[in-house]
Amino acid sequence: MIRGHQLRKIRGRCMEAVCLLAALVAVLPLFAFLWHLAAKGASSLSPALFTHLPMPPGEAGGGMKNAILGSLLVVGTATVAGIPLGIGAAIFMTEFARPTVASVLRFACDVLSGIPSIVMGLLAYEIVVVPLHHFSAFSGSVALAFIMLPVVVITTQEMLHLVPHSLREAGHALGIPTWRIAASITLRAAAPGVLTGMILAVSRIAGETAPMLFTAFGNPFLSLDPKAPISTLPHMIFNYAISPYDDWHRLAWGGALILVLGILGATLLSRFILWWHQRSLNS
């Protein structure tokens, strides 16, 4: 005979088990994916992957130096343009704009962030590739900057909103100009969160493939010319993965591993910065 409270305990245990199962299922794909990626990619992870250029189809060996450097260039240029613009826009919206103007801009950003990346690529194609008559690294950066911009604006704005109003008030009461309060007090207080947002935004665009198809276009040779077509890591992974060559498949896995490790590293770095900042505030 099971008494009432025993039944309740058993029911509680069951619920706990169900929730644990759900949690395991939720994180399972991540670990399965990482395991699979490591197993497949680790074997092709070698110095040559970083230092060698691709070989012609059918020939063994070769690396992804062109794509790694290309990704750094295209993503770097997009970041240099997108982050200051996005932070500036967010500061304008939270610190200067009238509430109606700010909410219209915010709505625009929300819409912009939901637009598929391939459409953003199309936009960059229309305004850069078509007028210049050729594919280029620069057009790829423009596409990535468009994709990154709303992400930067939204996260920066969220972080600025978290800064207590009393700090801005204290700044005003000291006769500090509004722009200086925004830059030296509000943004500085929000800095760790903003930085995390930036790293996530960069991680997001580093993996974009679709918009690269008709902007950066790809290039089997090493090129760092912003006016010329360029290879990027996700695009090269795509090309190699759909090729009929086993050697290229292995390289694609290696490239994928590099890309994921890079993004994982950036995310961990942002966590570390947050943790370190929190700790230095408390000491």
The footprint of another protein (CB under 8 A) covers 98-99, 164, 166-167, 169-177, 180-181, 184-185, 188-189, 191, 280-283
The tokens for 262 are: 């890079």
Q: How far is CA 22 from CA 11, 19, 25, 228, 275, in A?
A: 17, 5, 5, 49, 28
Smallest distance from another protein to CB 96, Å: 12
Q: Which is nearer to another protein, 27 or 283 (CB)?
A: 283
Bridge partners of residue 217, in order along the sequence? 230
Smallest distance from another protein to CB 161, Å: 16
Q: Which is nearer to another protein, 85 or 102 (CB)?
A: 102
Would you say 237 and 259 are in contact if contact means Cβ atoms under 8 Å apart? Answer: yes
Give the Cα separation of 98 and 85 in Å (integer): 19
The tokens for 265 are: 């590293």
Q: Which is nearer to another protein, 196 or 203 (CB)?
A: 196
Checking phi first, is residue 42 left (phi over 0); if not, alpha (psi -120 to 50) or beta?
A: alpha
Smallest distance from another protein to CB 174, Å: 3
Q: Which is nearer to another protein, 37 or 183 (CB)?
A: 183
Q: Which is nearer to another protein, 134 or 188 (CB)?
A: 188
DSSP 8-state symbol, 52: P
Q: Which is nearer to another protein, 29 or 99 (CB)?
A: 99
Q: Determine the Cα angle at 74 with ends 205 and 130, to 5°.
A: 100
Smallest distance from another protein to CB 177, Å: 6
Give the Cα separation of 113 and 58 in Å (integer): 41
Give the Cα separation of 183 and 84 in Å (integer): 12
Q: Which is nearer to another protein, 1 or 100 (CB)?
A: 100
Q: What is the DSSP string of 195-232?
A: HHHHHHHHHHHHT--GGGTTTTB--SS----TTS-B--
Q: Which is nearer to another protein, 31 or 96 (CB)?
A: 96
Smallest distance from another protein to CB 185, Å: 6
Report the half-sphere exposure of 97 (CA within 13 A, side-chain side): 16
Smallest distance from another protein to CB 109, Å: 22
Smallest distance from another protein to CB 31, Å: 38
Would you say 192 and 200 are in contact if contact means Cβ atoms under 8 Å apart? Answer: no
Residue 84 phi/psi, 5-degree rounding, is: -60, -40
Smallest distance from another protein to CB 187, Å: 10
